Structures are given as C-alpha cells and as structure tokens.
Structure 1
Amino acid sequence: MTDPAALDGFYSSPALDFTPRPGEILRRRTVATPRLDGGNRAWQLVYATRTAFSAPIPASGIVITPHTTEFARPSPILVYCTAFHGLGGHCAPSQLLAGERTEPETGFITTALERGWTVAVPDGHGLGMTGLGPHQFLAGRAAAHAVLDLARAVRALPELDSAQAPCTVWGYADGGRGAVWAAEQQPQYAPELDLRGVAAGAVVADPGALIAEIDGGRWAGLGLAGLIGLGRAYTHLPVGHILTDDGHRTIEQARELDAAALLVTYRNEPLGRWCERPDPWNDPLWRYVLANETSGRVAPQVPVHLYHGTEDALVPAAMGRGLFAEYRALGVDVSWREYATSHIGTATDGAAEAIARLASYLLHRPGTAARPAPPSPQTT
C-alpha cells in the first residue's frame, strides 16, 4: 500500500544546500484540524533542526492556536510530545491531526487549547518527512532538538505574535522522554527560549534497561523499534555489526511500520533472533550507545513534574522513581506523583495535574521564585 505521505510534496525532504538556523521555517501551509475540538488556525511546518550530533536536518510538526485565550498576547506555547507512533508510514502526529484518521492523544491537546495555549506537536526526526526515516525512536538528544527547534519556529511564525512567548513542554512515555531531554538540553542548545517548566509521565529514562526488560514479551516490537531508531541516530558508528542477514532484512521490513503493526508483528520475538548474540544490549558498542541515552545526567534549570503508574507493565515505575531521585540529587525543582493504575490509565489520570503544574510554571520566570524543598513521593 502506498504511503499517502509519500504522495504529498509538502513532506518531501528539502535539499539543504545551505545551513539554516535551528528553528528556521523551511515550508509552511495552513491546514484544518477537523477532529480536534478547541482548535482555531493551524499550520503544518517543515523546519530546520539538528541531529543528535549537530548535522542539519529538516523535521515536520504542526502548530494549533486556541479559539479563545484569557491571556494578553502572546499566548503561551506548549510543545506537546506524543508517545511513540511508529517508525514510518502515515502515523506522524502532524498528518493525523490534519487528516481523517484520529490522533490518539487529541484529548490532551484539546485540554491545552482550552487553556488558551498555542500547541505545537513535533513529529520527531525521521517521521513525517519522506526519505529521512526511520524515526529515531529513543534518541534523546535528537528528540530534544526537534522539540526546542519547533518552539523556535512557533515564535518565528509571522501569523503569530509569539516572539516573546513563554514555553512549556509536556509528554508521556517516549513523549515524556523527549520532554525531559528538552529540559536538560535547553540551557545549552536554546538558551533564548523562555522555557518555564516541563511535565513528563512514564519517562523512558534508561532505554537499555527497558529493552532488556521487554525483550521477548508482548512489547518486544518496541525493543526492535529501539534498535532501529537508535541505529539510525548513530549511523556514524558501526552499530549494525551485531545483525545477522535475517536481521538486516527484518529491519528493512520494520522501518516502515507504525506502532500497532510493530507490536503485532514482533510480539514475543526476542532480539537475539536477528542478532549475533542473545543480548545485543550488552554488546560493548551498544552499551556505549545506551549509556549515552540515559536521562538524569544534566540538571534542568526549570521545574519538572514527573508522574508514573504503580501498575505500569511497560515502563517500570522504578525507572521513574530513579529519575526523580537523580534530579533531586542534582538540585532540580522536581515534583513526583504516583497513580495506582496502569500505563494507559496513568496517561489519563495524570493529565489534569500535569496541566495544572504547567499553568503554575507559566506564572513565574525561571529563577524569580524560591525553589521549594523537594516533595516526598506521593501515591494516589
């Protein structure tokens, strides 16, 4: 079946025969968001960003303004990072939100629009744009660049008076991973952004530990997706040395699949089936890559709200608690909330507090209020 995105010239990769500024808008068009309540004007964007290793690369996303706002201009900007949608195919959030198919996280985006915030949703490196895939799933620094450069692009949109707009970031699961990486990278990568705070749920803080945990089980397709996504992000390293011939063929097939197809096709399949060893995450080169992808090594300079479900069968709650402890040790203004429910249940149950936290962060510029003592873990 032909990918509709491949037939849409808007998403074709532009030739970067110059070095654009990070966040520079390369292409934009007005779109409708028929399945999104609370949205007003919207634009699909192709903008310049950087790979994890600083090479220029185009990325796509969507920007949606609210129908009404209680704020004097400029309206705050929320960069909303969706959970993993897939490695390829017609599953990029910017395409779903402007198409006939439903974006699974429409409800969370609507809640933010109802607050009067402008919402920007990045597709991430390699997703949406044709010829640049597969999506660089689990590559934290790449995700951070896509997030921060989309915020830059929103501030530069000529239709909006947003050049001085404050920003927040929110995400869940892999989206939460992108959010905390954006918080960690912002002081160095995008210091001019007025980032006020971040909310992140079920953060994949340690991809190596997660891949080992889910290998051969119901979520095994995500482990394969991580191998593919990180392999794409680290193409300057010989990361494919662990693959068998069958592994190379499998990757070519999987790199175009969305999340649902990955989970069905590779359910209960161990990575060792396609690798030279049964535990590829322990290969020395891959141990280096995965160690480079752990969160909590750099202190965000803005408040961070973390939340997790105690019954999360995909991302262990201990991983979230560990990140909370790391941030607290680094002196980050960090809060923590546990919910006695599942991975999917926590995405819903934690949304109201996440939005409330972000709203409170918008009331203060970083550094203008004394940092409270870190709270003790709480369970609801």
Structure 2
Amino acid sequence: MTGTRTAIRQTRRGAACALALLLLFCAGLVAGVGSAAAQSAAPPPVPLPFADPFYTPDGPIADLAPGTVIESRSMSYGSLERATPLTSTQVLYRTTDQAGGPSATVATILRPLVPGPARLISYHMAYDALGSECDPSYTLTGNGTPSQAGIAEQGVIAGYLAAGYTVVVPDYEGPDLEWTIGRQSAYAALDGVRATIDHLGLPASTPVGLAGYSGGSVPTQWGAEMAPTYAPELNIVGAAAGGLPVNVAHNLPYVSGSTSWAGVIPALVVSYQRAYGLDTASFLSDYGRQLVDTVSSQCINAFAADYPGLTDAQMVRAPYTSLLDIPAVVSAIGDNVMGTTGTPRVPMLLAVGNVDGIGDSVMVTADVAGLAHEYCTRGVAVTYAQYDRLGHSEAFVPFQAQTAQFLTDRFAGVAPTSNCQGA
C-alpha cells in the first residue's frame, strides 16, 4: 500500500507540473518569449510532407501488420520557427484507411528528459488540416506557422514530457488529409502507439493514455471505441476527449451563418469528398465550388472564421437547400457518428463547453452529454464535464487541466468514478 500511495503522490505531482507548464505556455511565458527564445536558432528547414519522400513507402505495404515501422529518422523539435535542445523521432508506419485498405502515415515520438517508468500518451493535436503544411510531424520540427491552438498544445505536450511521459503525436488524418473521418483517425492513432512501442522496444504491457481536444477528439474517442476489436493487445488505461463533433449532421446547422466557424462547412465537403468520392459537381453551387477550391489546401486557422455568415444553403445549387439534402453526404456523415461502431473498454473523460444553451459555438453540448450517457448504459466508466459560459476555444484550458488529473489517476491505478448517469 505504501508503494501505491507513493506512486500516486508522484504522478499527481507530475500532473501539477504538466498543468503549470500548460498555463504558463498559454499565458505566453514559455516557448517564444524572452531573450533566450529570441536568441535561439531557427530549426533546420525540411520539405513539406507532400514533397518529402520520407512520407511515401518505397514498396508495397499490404502484407505488413498494422503498426509496422517502415522507416524512421531523428528530427529537430521546435516551436514558432525556433529550435529547442530536444530531438524527436519520426516513424513512417503501416496503418489502415477508412475503407479498410492499407495506408501509411507518420508519427512524432518524444521522450521525457528524465527517464522513468514506461508510460505513453498518444496526444492528438487539433491540426484540422486540408494541407500537409499543417501536419504535426512538420510543425513540431519548428517549421511552418501553427495555429494558436497548435502553439498551446505544444505547451501541453511539454508538460507531459516534464512529468515523465513518452508522447507520440500521430498525423492521424492520413496522407490525404481527411479531416474528421472516424475509423481512419482511430486506426492511425492506435497504430502509432503500436509503432512507438515497437520502435522504442517498450514492454507490450506499457500503459497508454489517449488525449485530444476538438479535431483531436476524433482519434481519441474513435480510438477508444475501436481498440477492443482493432488493437486489443494495447494496455490503454483511459481516454480523454473534449469538444467532440459527435454527429456532424447536428454541427452543420449550428455553424451555418456563424461569424466565427462557418468556414468549416466547405472544409468538411473537401474531407468527405476525399474519403468517400462524393460527386460534388452534382450538388455544389458556383460559390460552393469556389470556396471548396479555396480551402482545399488550408489549415483551420486560415478558413474557420474567414467566411462570416456563410450558410449551408449557399453551398448548394437548386433544388437543394442544404448539404443534408444530399443522400451521399448524409451517408458519409452517418458513417462517422460517434458511439455507433463499438464500445470502449476503458474509463473515459468526455467534455464540452456551453456558451449559448446549444453548444460551445461549434460543438453541440447535448450530443456530447448524450454520448456520455449512452456509454454509461453500456457499462463504461464515464466522467462528463460541461464548462458553462465557455466557448470552444475557452474550454480548452479547463479541459487540459482536467485531462492531466484524469490521466494521472488512470496511470496510478486509481479506481475510476462515473457521473454519466447525470449527463
């Protein structure tokens, strides 16, 4: 018992350290501020992923087991076009696409500065990308211009590293940048964990935590849902997902006409066209086609708020009045509704803001609460957190703080609690 209490105290101190670093980073006091950061060198330039041969397997991969490392390399680790003393390892590994076929993507592996017990966090950045310059494997080298969310997430990652965790950050949208696509994102995350365990020679029993907010909630939630059938050998101890797009059919009318989030509408069309081969010419308006072409290689910070007041109806031509009038679109969305494919076997933290009685300005609060309740009825230990009066961006910080404590308890073996009956 004494050893268990000591382990819990140590991991809670680690969580406190992670949270402190997160808050400092979000306040602008870490990474990129001050004379030391100003004097640091720029990172070595690297080609964009779409032009980098490392991202493309040299030969067939269909016969490789999911999670097999195809190639690896050491890379710089940086932020805001500044290098750090840290290095990362990138692995190209075999994974599976939405249709069940072989695919390959890249993950970034970061080791803690102070070695300790093997503990692995698969951290899923909300890179929400349609172009490869947004890939975490690229921005985590210090190259490119990450979004404000990406900058803050590097603070979160720094906190976990300081607390002694090994962190793997997968490019879970895959080589074609298919944003919000559920099973594929899960496979990439789970196979990234497999690749990390194999590459580092970690025990197969290494405990693993999954975490992600907003776009990063997709591989987190779907990863927990698919793990029992796709990667049952992994020792996942908990999953924390915040700001979840549970059912995009509900998000679309919510963001239609929004001043801050309407730009996600054409971006979602791009993603579903890539993943499902939608015949967009048969239903997009001229303006809709123009917007789809414009956003097709951008990151979310370039499109989300750039089309204030854009409506779903403006995207389509007569006789359609909404993207939800298109059977192929409805079918693609239905294939990505959370909670419909499997049941997690690990404790879950599900969280969302509620700024207007409907949602956090982009995610629908009742959808997340409903998912928590549904999982509860299936016997999953779910902690549901609702951040009232906070929008999507503002809810990021309390979610990360709660996630740090949630994962600390899971790694320490603290018995999970559940409040999902009240969700």
Displacement of 1:302 in angstroms is 0.4
Tell me what 2:234 maps to. 193
Rate the CA distance shift 1:319–1:110 in 2: closer, same or farther, 3 A: same
> What are the within-5 Å matches in structure 2 for residues 221-240 of structure 1?
221-235=263-277, 238=279
Rate the CA distance shift 1:309–1:17 in 2: closer, same or farther, 3 A: closer
Tell me what 2:327 maps to. 284
CA distance in 2, matches of 1:39, 1:152: 27
Structure 1: stretches of 5+ with no match in the other structure: 127-131
The amino acid that maps onto 1:252 is: D
The amino acid that maps onto 1:304 is: M
> What are the within-5 Å matches in structure 2 for residues 141-156 of structure 1?
141-156=183-198
The structure with the largest helix share of the pair is: 2
Tell me what 1:351 maps to. 400
CA distance in 2, matches of 1:93, 1:280: 30
For the aligned residue pairs, the C-alpha RMSD in angstroms reads 2.7
Q: TM-score when scaled to structure 1? A: 0.86
Rate the CA distance shift 1:17–1:45 in 2: closer, same or farther, 3 A: closer
The question of whether the paired residues in 2 share the 8 Å contact of 1:37 and 1:110 is answered with no
Tell me what 2:123 maps to. 80
Displacement of 1:240 in angstroms is 5.8
Are positions 1:46 and 2:92 aligned together? yes
Give CA deviations for 1:155-182 in whole Å, capped at 9, x if unaligned.
110x443543111100001211221110
SS at match of 2:352: strand
- Greater mean alpha carbon deviation, residues 287-296 or residues 143-152: 287-296
Tell me what 1:309 maps to. 353
SS at match of 2:234: coil
Rate the CA distance shift 1:314–1:14 in 2: closer, same or farther, 3 A: farther
Tell me what 2:339 maps to. 296
SS at match of 1:205: coil
Structure 2: stretches of 5+ with no match in the other structure: 1-45
CA distance in 1, matches of 2:75, 2:402: 31
SS at match of 1:58: strand
CA distance in 2, matches of 1:4, 1:136: 17
- Greater mean alpha carbon deviation, residues 10-19 or residues 213-222: 10-19
Rate the CA distance shift 1:13–1:222 in 2: closer, same or farther, 3 A: farther
CA distance in 2, matches of 1:107, 1:85: 18
> What are the within-5 Å matches in structure 2 for residues 258-273 of structure 1?
258-273=299-314
The question of whether the paired residues in 2 share the 8 Å contact of 1:307 and 1:338 is answered with yes
Of 383, 386, 389, the match for 1:338: 386
Displacement of 1:239 in angstroms is 6.4
How many residues align structurally? 362
The question of whether the paired residues in 1 share the 8 Å contact of 2:61 and 2:94 is answered with no
CA distance in 1, matches of 2:410, 2:310: 43
CA distance in 2, matches of 1:87, 1:77: 28
Tell me what 2:369 maps to. 321
The amino acid that maps onto 1:328 is: C
Q: TM-score when scaled to structure 2? A: 0.78
Displacement of 1:19 in angstroms is 2.9
